[in-house]
């Protein structure tokens, strides 16, 4: 059944000013329309920003503990809708139901975590040179925050932005990725049902170039938190900086694993394959380059191959499917063109490499899980973010060579080392230029109570999640009180 969702502005569900709607389709079966959503204009963004601005002073005036009660209620309501929201997300962007269920539960955990953040300290008392003075800092909200999010984690990413924005006293205008608009509306419904005051959270659907860009340009928006591609992130940064708004960017990755001669090869193969292929490779932290010590290359390769051969591709709604379709035609065309590029560059196709177009796959954006070997780190497929289920195997002769090549990319999001050697593990932590470092773990996977973010071109170097979020969503007042005699 097609679901038709609206914008949410000042506590009301409303259409766009033009009345035009766009369609959300199922990438496993493009003939299935999941629903419609408004194609919002700059005028709709203006209304949403005005509502958020009007709501700000009252929301800010609440105690953070009272604000936390709204998040707490939203967490409970979200928990009651796990199946329904997971089903919608799978239909909109294709990953498996197990993956979307896990993501909704992650959303619940994020809301519960931030519902408690309001009871932490709001500043520090600092000694003053003048003994009479009371000198202290106080964290204060920024105002209206624009939240712009991608389709690959349509529940967790908006929530890990909105929850801290709200608990620290900001109001929000949220522009989700068009591909996952119906899911986004359900997330906002949860806040509406939790009786969040009107105007505190506003939802504006539509395209990035119209609704998204209007939020970034808007002088009523004090800060923009963006997750998405590097290309768009750079535009967001330039616009925001030009008008003096605060911005935070989390962008792409080209995440390496290194498998040393003493690694547990079974574990390394399992976590390399899951890091590369789960979510159909559409994670910013997905494993895409695998540097393997020459002495264990053959047995490791055989283990990877066996695991990739066993992957069941299909609709994310089907039981037993490991890998759903790519999320959109754009994604499909991009991934296929990178696979062709890899072949042209002289990488050897070890497995996969084709679109799946017959039988149950004929109406969706399905590709085979793909593994290249004889890859050189300079090749385009080893340097650019493919954002699909494509893994590159690269032989190395030493730990030092592996780390040097792992670092030889413009990205710096996540990396993992497989070894039993503690000294190498510590040297890896020291030398690898990424924000998320793992030893004997998958490159993907973050815990919501810890800081998350990348280095180099993967990020604007600010951090999301955990207590790190306070840095972006607040600023400091420094107060000196001198009593008069
Ligand atoms: P995208 O950059 O195309 O879109 C992201 C969001 O920006 C969407 O809501 C889109 O509508 C909006 N947008 C597009 N053009 C805009 C503009 N000119 N002004 C303002 N907003 C605009 O990215 P995507 O395809 O949705 O997501 C995939 C990308 O996201 C990948 O590069 C991936 O690595 C990255 N990502 C990063 C992280 C991370 O935390 N580092 C997490 C998930 C995804």
Interval between CA 212 and ligand 1 midpoint (Å)? 10
Q: For residue 446, what pLDDT is reported? A: 87
Q: For residue 468, what pLDDT is reported? A: 97
Instruction: Check which CATH number belongs to the domain holding 310 and give it.
Output: 3.40.309.10
- Minimum CA distance residue for ligand 1 atom 19: 213
- Minimum CA distance residue for ligand 1 atom 26: 150
Mutation test of ligand 1: which of 157, 162, 210, 229 has the most ligand atoms closer than 8 Å to its C-beta? 229
Q: What percent of the chain has pLDDT over 90?
A: 99
If you average pLDDT over every residue of the chain, what do you get? 98
Query: What residue ranges line ligand 1, CB within 6 angstroms?
Result: 148-153, 175-178, 208-209, 212-213, 216, 227-229, 232, 235-236, 250-253, 284, 385, 387, 413, 454, 458
Instruction: Note the residue count of the chain.
Output: 485
Which tokens belong to 275? 């890091």
pLDDT tens, position by position, 433-446 = 999 999 999 999 98
Is 134 in the same domain as 38? yes
Interval between CA 334 and ligand 1 midpoint (Å)? 15
On whether residue 51 sits in a domain, the answer given is yes
Helix (H, G, I), strand (E, B) or coil at 460: coil
Is 416 in the same domain as 389? yes
pLDDT tens, position by position, 96-137 = 999 999 999 999 999 999 999 999 999 999 999 999 999 999
Rounded to an integer, the average pLDDT of 279-295 is 98
Q: For residue 485, what pLDDT is reported? A: 84
Tokens 């009007």 belong to residue: 54
Kindly state the DSSP code that residue 459 receives in the 8-state scheme: B
Q: For residue 2, what pLDDT is reported? A: 85
pLDDT tens, position by position, 172-208 = 999 999 999 999 999 999 999 999 999 999 999 999 9
- Minimum CA distance residue for ligand 1 atom 18: 209
User: What is the C-alpha to C-alpha distance for residues 225 and 142, in angstroms, rounded to an integer?
Assistant: 12
Rounded to an integer, the average pLDDT of 74-100 is 98
Is 56 in the same domain as 175? yes
On whether residue 485 sits in a domain, the answer given is no
Is 12 in the same domain as 148? yes
pLDDT tens, position by position, 326-382 = 999 999 999 999 999 999 999 999 999 999 999 999 999 999 999 999 999 999 999
- Residue range(s) defining the domain that contains residue 182: 3-251+459-480
- Index of the ligand 1 atom closest to the CA of residue 459: 41
Which tokens belong to 204? 């504006």
Is 218 in the same domain as 298? no
Interval between CA 383 and ligand 1 midpoint (Å)? 19
Is 339 in the same domain as 190? no
Instruction: Check which CATH number belongs to the domain holding 92 and give it.
Output: 3.40.605.10
Q: How many helices (H) and strands (E) does the chain have?
A: 15, 24
Whether residue 1 has pLDDT greater than 90:
no
Is 174 in the same domain as 303? no
Rounded to an integer, the average pLDDT of 54-79 is 98
Q: What percent of the chain has pLDDT over 70?
A: 100
Is 236 in the same domain as 260? no
Q: Which residues contact 471 (CB under 8 A, 6 or more apart)?
A: 462, 463
How many domains are there within the chain?
2
On whether residue 223 sits in a domain, the answer given is yes
Q: For residue 294, what pLDDT is reported? A: 98
Question: What are the C-alpha distances in Å from 51 to residues 66, 70, 171, 207, 221?
Answer: 21, 19, 9, 21, 12
Is 307 in the same domain as 406? yes
Whether residue 3 contacts residue 35, with contact meaning beta carbons closer than 8 Å, is answered with: yes
On whether residue 239 sits in a domain, the answer given is yes
pLDDT tens, position by position, 203-261 = 999 999 999 999 999 999 999 999 999 999 999 999 999 999 999 999 999 999 999 99
- Minimum CA distance residue for ligand 1 atom 32: 229
Is 11 in the same domain as 97? yes
The crossing angle, in degrees rounded to 10, of helices 156-167 and 97-117 is 10
pLDDT tens, position by position, 29-45 = 999 999 999 999 999 99
Is 31 exposed, middle or buried, given 0-12, 13-18 or 19+ CB atoms closer than 10 A? exposed
pLDDT tens, position by position, 475-484 = 999 999 999 9
Dihedral sign for Cα atoms in the order 279, 453, 387, 425: negative
- Minimum CA distance residue for ligand 1 atom 40: 250
Is 142 in the same domain as 85? yes
Whether residue 285 contacts residue 445, with contact meaning beta carbons closer than 8 Å, is answered with: yes
pTM score, whole prediction: 0.98
User: What is the C-alpha to C-alpha distance for residues 67 and 385, in angstroms, rounded to an integer?
Assistant: 39
Helix (H, G, I), strand (E, B) or coil at 464: strand
Whether residue 353 contacts residue 325, with contact meaning beta carbons closer than 8 Å, is answered with: no
On whether residue 453 sits in a domain, the answer given is no
Whether residue 429 contacts residue 215, with contact meaning beta carbons closer than 8 Å, is answered with: no
Active site residue 250: yes
- Minimum CA distance residue for ligand 1 atom 31: 229
Whether residue 61 has pLDDT greater than 90:
yes
Is 235 in the same domain as 135? yes
On whether residue 471 sits in a domain, the answer given is yes
Closest alpha carbon to 232 in 253, 246, 215, 249? 249
- Index of the ligand 1 atom closest to the CA of residue 153: 43
Catalytic residue selected from 92, 99, 103, 250: 250
User: What is the C-alpha to C-alpha distance for residues 86 and 99, in angstroms, rounded to an integer?
Assistant: 8
- Index of the ligand 1 atom closest to the CA of residue 330: 25
Interval between CA 331 and ligand 1 midpoint (Å)? 12
User: What is the C-alpha to C-alpha distance for residues 188 and 178, in angstroms, rounded to an integer?
Assistant: 15
On whether residue 452 sits in a domain, the answer given is no
Interval between CA 79 and ligand 1 midpoint (Å)? 27
Tokens 């969040």 belong to residue: 196
Interval between CA 302 and ligand 1 midpoint (Å)? 35
pLDDT tens, position by position, 142-175 = 999 999 999 999 999 999 999 999 999 999 999 9
Whether residue 335 contacts residue 323, with contact meaning beta carbons closer than 8 Å, is answered with: no
Mutation test of ligand 1: which of 150, 278, 472 has the most ligand atoms closer than 8 Å to its C-beta? 150
Interval between CA 252 and ligand 1 midpoint (Å)? 9
Which tokens belong to 408? 């030889």
Mutation test of ligand 1: which of 203, 228, 247 has the most ligand atoms closer than 8 Å to its C-beta? 228
On whether residue 283 sits in a domain, the answer given is yes
């Amino acid at each position: 059944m097609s679901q038709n969702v609206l914008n949410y502005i000042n506590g009301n569900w409303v259409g766009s000013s033009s009345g035009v709607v766009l369609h959300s389709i199922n990438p496993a079966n493009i003939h299935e329309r999941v629903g419609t959503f408004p194609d919002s204009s700059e005028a709709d963004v203006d209304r949403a920003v005005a509502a958020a601005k009007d709501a700000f002073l009252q929301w800010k005036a609440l105690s953070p503990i009272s604000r936390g009660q709204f998040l707490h209620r939203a967490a409970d309501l979200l928990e009651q809708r796990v199946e329904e929201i997971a089903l919608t997300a799978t239909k909109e962007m294709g990953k498996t139901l197990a993956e979307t269920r896990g993501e909704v539960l992650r959303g619940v955990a994020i809301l519960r975590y931030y519902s408690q953040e309001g009871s932490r300290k709001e500043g520090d008392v600092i000694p003053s040179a003048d003994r009479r003075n009371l000198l202290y800092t106080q964290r204060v909200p920024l105002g209206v925050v624009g939240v712009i999010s991608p389709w690959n984690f349509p529940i967790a990413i908006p929530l890990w932005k909105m929850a801290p924005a709200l608990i620290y006293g900001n109001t929000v205008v949220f522009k989700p990725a068009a591909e996952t608009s119906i899911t986004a509306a359900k997330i906002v419904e949860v806040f509406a049902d939790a009786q969040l005051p009107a105007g505190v959270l506003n939802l504006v659907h539509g395209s990035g170039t119209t609704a998204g860009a209007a939020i970034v340009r808007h002088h009523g928006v004090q800060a923009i938190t963006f997750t998405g591609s590097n290309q768009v992130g750079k535009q967001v940064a330039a616009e925001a900086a030009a008008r003096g708004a605060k911005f935070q960017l989390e962008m792409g990755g080209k995440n390496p694993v290194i498998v040393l001669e003493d690694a547990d090869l079974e574990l390394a193969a399992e976590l390399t394959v899951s890091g590369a292929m789960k979510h159909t490779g559409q994670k910013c932290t997905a494993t895409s380059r695998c540097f393997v010590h020459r002495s264990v290359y053959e047995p490791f390769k055989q283990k990877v191959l066996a695991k990739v051969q066993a992957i069941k591709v299909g609709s994310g709604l089907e039981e037993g499917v490991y890998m759903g379709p790519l999320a959109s035609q754009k994604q499909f065309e991009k991934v296929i063109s990178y696979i062709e590029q890899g072949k042209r560059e002289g990488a050897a196709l070890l497995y996969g490499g084709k679109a799946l177009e017959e039988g149950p796959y004929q109406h969706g954006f399905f590709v085979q899980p793909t593994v290249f070997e004889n890859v050189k780190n300079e090749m385009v497929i080893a340097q650019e973010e493919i954002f699909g289920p494509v893994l590159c195997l690269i032989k190395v002769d030493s730990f030092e060579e592996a780390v040097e090549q792992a670092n030889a990319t413009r990205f710096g999001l996540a990396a993992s080392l497989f070894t039993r050697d503690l000294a190498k593990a510590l040297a890896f932590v020291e030398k690898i230029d990424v924000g998320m470092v793992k030893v004997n773990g998958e490159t993907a996977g973050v815990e919501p109570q810890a800081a998350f973010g990348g280095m180099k071109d993967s990020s604007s170097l600010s951090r999301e999640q955990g207590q790190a979020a306070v840095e972006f969503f607040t600023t400091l007042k420094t107060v000196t009180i001198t009593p008069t005699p």
